[in-house]
Amino acid sequence: MQADLNLLTVLDALLEEGSVMKAAERLHLSSPAVSRTLGRIRKVTGDDILVRTGHTMAPTPYALAIREEVHRLVRQANAVLSPSRELDLAELERTFTVQCHDALASSVVPLLVGRIAEQAPGVRLRVLAEHSADTDDLRHGRVDLELGGGRPELPEFRSETLGTDPLAVVMRSGHPSADELDLPAYAAHPHVLVSRRGRLTAPIDDLLAAEGLHRKVIATVATVHSALQIAAASDALVTTTAILCRPLIEAFGLIARPLPAESPEAPINCNWHQRYRLRPRPRLAP
């Protein structure tokens, strides 16, 4: 026999109210509907549940024995089907997996780990490097959040732009263009590109082409860290974000100069799968 769990809801109301009419009012049903359901409950349990005593109805010994258990089951079912939207960070215990490039890991993750330790001590953070190609990690739950410049195209993913970061040109201290960097000088020096896919061109190349200029790309690497290592040991320039890359720039003793051209700031996007759409998204206090 497959139990109809709706019977529990009506049974709970009947045992609490002790009246078909009052149970119907509580459940926003008609009295005949509740009366029919009581008949089904009697058939399933083999007990009268409620019996008439003058103008009122009294529970049977069996009904009295199961009343607390029925109420507990209904309360648990409601809790399962109506999860709380309030999240207590102090009580949260979970490991979150975040995927991002090394500049974000260097600038944001240390602050995030410190904030989590203060407000959500039961949370652990797993930080993974970017892959050279797109993966199904978000779809299959191996990654909870992706942070970076890209945005997923498929409708099953959600994305929010957290902010933007202006582009800068990074070079070694004492570089020939350290004091003055215009667009022709920018194009004349060798360049190292940062691309997880190994691309040898970037949007800035279209801007240079419009001015009749062309730059020489001597290498493309997957991480900002590798690009800055090359810049620290040569006259190569690295075009990257100014704010997020600041910790790495300072760690290598490099200097940053504004990009000598009008260019959109780089977006910083947070991407996640839609299965988290209805869940609370905790925000750490500023």
Model confidence at 118, pLDDT cuts 50, 70, 90, reads very high
- pLDDT at residue number 282: 45
Classified as helix, coil or strand, 12 is: helix
* φ, ψ dihedrals at 73, nearest 5°: -65, -40
Class of domain 6-81: mainly alpha
Tell me the H-state helices in 121-193: 183-188
Is pTM beyond 0.95? Reply is no
Model confidence at 56, pLDDT cuts 50, 70, 90, reads confident
Model confidence at 2, pLDDT cuts 50, 70, 90, reads low
Letter string b/e over residues 66-83, b meaning 16 or more CB atoms within 10 A of that residue's CB: bbeebeebbeeeeeeeee
Q: Which two tokens stand for residue 92?
A: 């949260």
CATH topology for the 167-264 domain: D-Maltodextrin-Binding Protein; domain 2 (3.40.190)
Across 144-158, 206-220, 270-284, least confident range: 270-284
Among 47, 72, 51, smallest CA distance to 62 is for 47
- pLDDT at residue number 109: 92
Mean pLDDT, residues 60-79 taken together = 90
| CATH topology identical between 6-81 and 167-264 | no
For 89-164+268-276, CATH gives: 3.40.190.10
- Domain range summary for the chain, segments of one domain joined by +: 6-81, 89-164+268-276, 167-264
| Cβ contact 257:251 at 8 Å | no
CA dist 79 to 84, 92, 93, Å?
8, 18, 19
- pLDDT at residue number 85: 66
Is residue 84 over pLDDT 70?
A: no
Is residue 185 over pLDDT 60?
A: yes
Most confident of 148-152, 188-192, 195-199: 188-192
Model confidence at 285, pLDDT cuts 50, 70, 90, reads very low
DSSP state at residue 182: -
Q: Which two tokens stand for residue 281?
A: 């998204």
Is residue 279 over pLDDT 90?
A: no
**142-165 pLDDT, tens per residue?**
899 999 988 888 888 899 999 999
Q: Identify which has the larger pLDDT, 161 or 276.
A: 161
Is residue 178 over pLDDT 50?
A: yes
Mean pLDDT, residues 199-225 taken together = 95
**17-40 pLDDT, tens per residue?**
899 999 999 899 999 999 999 999
Site of tokens 């667009």: 183
Is residue 132 over pLDDT 90?
A: no
Mean pLDDT, residues 156-181 taken together = 94
- pLDDT at residue number 67: 92
- pLDDT at residue number 280: 45
